[in-house]
Amino acid sequence: MKTTHNISIIKRRRELKRKITSFCILTTVTVILSVLFIFGSKSVASDGSIKDYSKYYKSIEVSGDDSLYDIASEYSVPELMTEEEFVREVMFINNMESDKLSYGKSYIIIPYYS
């Protein structure tokens, strides 16, 4: 009888320990995600001040004379991403396999920050 009681106590302790561990992990993940969400769109400017950017998308007309790097130099925000990262994102958004634009006039979607 005593061993059955001891086994029951051990099972309850294991279950309690499992619940406490799960709670701690869930709390830690929640705090980390909250911090990332709150500070995810903040950027520190060169003068040390914090700027808040919102990301939007728009369609722009391009021609064969344009390059994605020209567009990146105009629309990318250096505090948030490099021109190379901007070009890769534009290629991903527009399902492009190359950073070369087709000849003639066409439209592409780009991210911009405000």
Quick one: pLDDT band at residue 40, thresholds 50, 70, 90? low
User: CB atoms < 10 A from the CB of 93, how many?
Assistant: 13
Four-CA torsion 22, 25, 28, 30, nearest 10 degrees:
-60
pLDDT in tens, 14-31: 999 999 988 888 888 888
Q: What is the pLDDT at residue 35?
A: 73
Per the prediction, the chain carries an average pLDDT of 82
